[in-house]
Amino acid sequence: MTAAMGAVCGGLAVAGLSRTGLLPFTVAAAGFAAAILGAALAPSLPREVATLTVTGLFSAGFMASGNTTRQLTADPRYRGRVMALWSVTFTGSRPIGGPIVGLIADDLGPRYGLGIGALACLTPTILGTMALARMPPADRYARRPRELDWPACQQAHESCA
């Protein structure tokens, strides 16, 4: 329940942002990793509830900023394919990662299961930070791709129709 309340707040927060892109996505990934780590280390139930609320907030922010960035930056001809691969990445990893993390949590305890989740969230944080370091500040936010010239597209590719 508390994670759901945080997720609603996170979704509304991302919807209110004027820009999206790699920078907001990386910040959301870092916040998500920190919140999960905080949940793993929470010493009491009230602190656990609070950190799970923050986890829900950053989880929704991470997914919403990732979805929005992909949709805005993908070439319109390939947008559906890009979003399908994006969705498969998340839904396809759950049947593999879920049982593995469940076994670890069962053997070592739930704190370790949450810790593995925090490590998994650190991966996009590290990759995003490395990419941001090489990127000019103007490119850190998503821009819409130029609109397609549909007649020229149809001449070059019959599949554009």
According to the model, what pLDDT value does residue 22 have?
Answer: 87
- Look at the chain and report how many structural domains it folds into: 1
Each residue of 14-65: pLDDT tens digit? 777 777 888 888 999 999 999 999 999 999 999 999 999 999 999 988 888 8
Tell me the HSE value of 34 on the side-chain side, using a 13 A CA sphere: 11
Q: What's the whole-number average pLDDT of the chain?
A: 84
Distance between the two ends of the chain, CA-based, in angstroms?
A: 46
Q: What is the CATH number of the domain that holds 57?
A: 1.20.1250.20
According to the model, what pLDDT value does residue 18 have?
Answer: 75
Each residue of 99-140: pLDDT tens digit? 999 999 999 999 999 999 899 889 989 999 999 999 888 788
User: Would you say residue 155 has pLDDT above 60?
Assistant: no
Query: What is the extent of the structural domain holding 123?
Result: 2-160
> Which tokens go with 80?
């559906």
Contact 62, 133 (CB under 8 A): no
According to the model, what pLDDT value does residue 159 have?
Answer: 54
- Distances in whole angstroms, Cα of residue 75 to Cα of each of 38, 51, 114, 140: 38, 38, 36, 18
> Which tokens go with 21?
């892109």
User: Would you say residue 153 has pLDDT above 60?
Assistant: no
Distance in angstroms (rounded) separating the CA atoms of residues 4 and 54: 10
User: Would you say residue 80 has pLDDT above 60?
Assistant: yes
